[in-house]
Amino acid sequence: MRSDPNLIAGLEGFEDAGVYKISDDLALILTLDFFTPIVDDPYIFGQIAAVNALSDVYAMGGKPLTAMNIICFPTKKLDMSVLHDILLGGLEKIHEAGVTLVGGHSVEDDEPKYGLSVTGIIHPKKVLRNNSAWPGDKLILTKAIGTGIVSTALKGGEAPEKLLRRSIRTMTTLNRQAADLMVETPGVHACTDITGFGFLGHACEMIEGSEIGLRIFSSAVPVFEGIRDIIDEGFLPGGLYRNKNFRMPMIEVKKNVPDWLLDLLFDPQTSGGLLISIDAKEADGLLMRLKDAGVEDAAIVGDVTDELRAKIVVE
């Protein structure tokens, strides 16, 4: 492949977005994300898809500026009001993020799909990669997990109303507030957002091939209240098993960690939170500011150590 000295983050590694340097103090962040509906309400689906697409810019430490709609829609099967509602939900979140919609493209397709291509900006020296954690850092997670399991239960017609509302509230919350506080805090060394590979899958990306490892305090990871019941009922998404099979070779699990919780740590998330690696002496301060600002689920969920090499111990 052609190498380009201005490409700061690209296809190599597991970065959340591409980053392209324009000048010594300006780089573009470029990202694209779209998917099929995971909730019944088209407006809420639009909100979730937009929040999810914007998240990768936040995860790089950047500021999103513009967005373009990507739409697949079966105009012969579904009423156009459904499309209208999807776009309206997306637009609400685009505006909440302070982002300008500049265009988009739609195609006829059997199944609706929606998402955004987002462009953001960042100082080239302030790009937050996901594989640049330092030994001694603490890990902060900003949203509770369980959205994949709740969506699976919903498809099976078995999602308790309260859990569904909780999951939707999480998926429709922008990572903007968390990201704003993160970039104002010194000592942040790495960041990613939790999406399809699950909490542990994305944690693995942080340390794969490196000289450091992570310790995860499983009981400190924020989870949806009541999620255990639907795990026990067997509503586990296929992606959860794929994530687990793929990453277990890098992971050691202590005996005290219950099976349901380990499974949950691999649950593929939609529009999940940020996972931030930050200097231990700044971690409590950032956590307090996150809580004060309404990022209520934020928690310190582990730390970074050079006593492990490219491994994660879940305890």
Q: Which residues of the chain form contacts with Co ion (CB under 5 A)?
A: 16, 33, 56, 193
178-201 exposure pattern, b = at least 16 Cβ within 10 A, e = fewer: bbebbbebebbbbbbbbbebbbbb
Burial class (CB in 10 A: 0-12, 13-18, 19+), 81: exposed
* Between 35 and 43, CB nearer to Co ion: 35
171 within 8 A of 271, measured Cβ to Cβ: yes
Half-sphere exposure of 148 (CA within 13 A, CB side): 24
Cβ at position 32, least distance to Co ion in Å: 8
Residue closest to Co ion when measured from CB atoms: 16
* Between 90 and 163, CB nearer to Co ion: 90
User: H/E element holding 313?
Assistant: strand 312-314
Cβ at position 301, least distance to Co ion in Å: 17
Cβ at position 45, least distance to Co ion in Å: 17
* Between 193 and 303, CB nearer to Co ion: 193
* Between 153 and 301, CB nearer to Co ion: 301
Half-sphere exposure of 71 (CA within 13 A, CB side): 23
* Between 163 and 276, CB nearer to Co ion: 276
* Locus of tokens 């019941």: 229
Cβ at position 118, least distance to Co ion in Å: 10
Cβ at position 217, least distance to Co ion in Å: 23
Cβ at position 254, least distance to Co ion in Å: 28
Give me the sign of the Cα torsion angle 114, 117, 118, 124: positive
Cβ at position 290, least distance to Co ion in Å: 19
Say how far apart CA 289 and CA 287 lie, in whole Å: 5
SS3 157: coil
* Between 137 and 193, CB nearer to Co ion: 193
Tell me the longest C-alpha to C-alpha distance in the chain: 59
DSSP state of 1: -
Instruction: Determine the straight-line distance between the first and last CA of the chain, rounded to whole angstroms.
Output: 42
17-55 exposure pattern, b = at least 16 Cβ within 10 A, e = fewer: bbbbbeeeeebbbbbebbbebbbeebbbbbbbbbbbbbb
Cβ at position 242, least distance to Co ion in Å: 17
* Between 85 and 208, CB nearer to Co ion: 208
Say how far apart CA 48 and CA 290 lie, in whole Å: 21
* Between 175 and 185, CB nearer to Co ion: 175
* Between 33 and 297, CB nearer to Co ion: 33
Cβ at position 193, least distance to Co ion in Å: 4
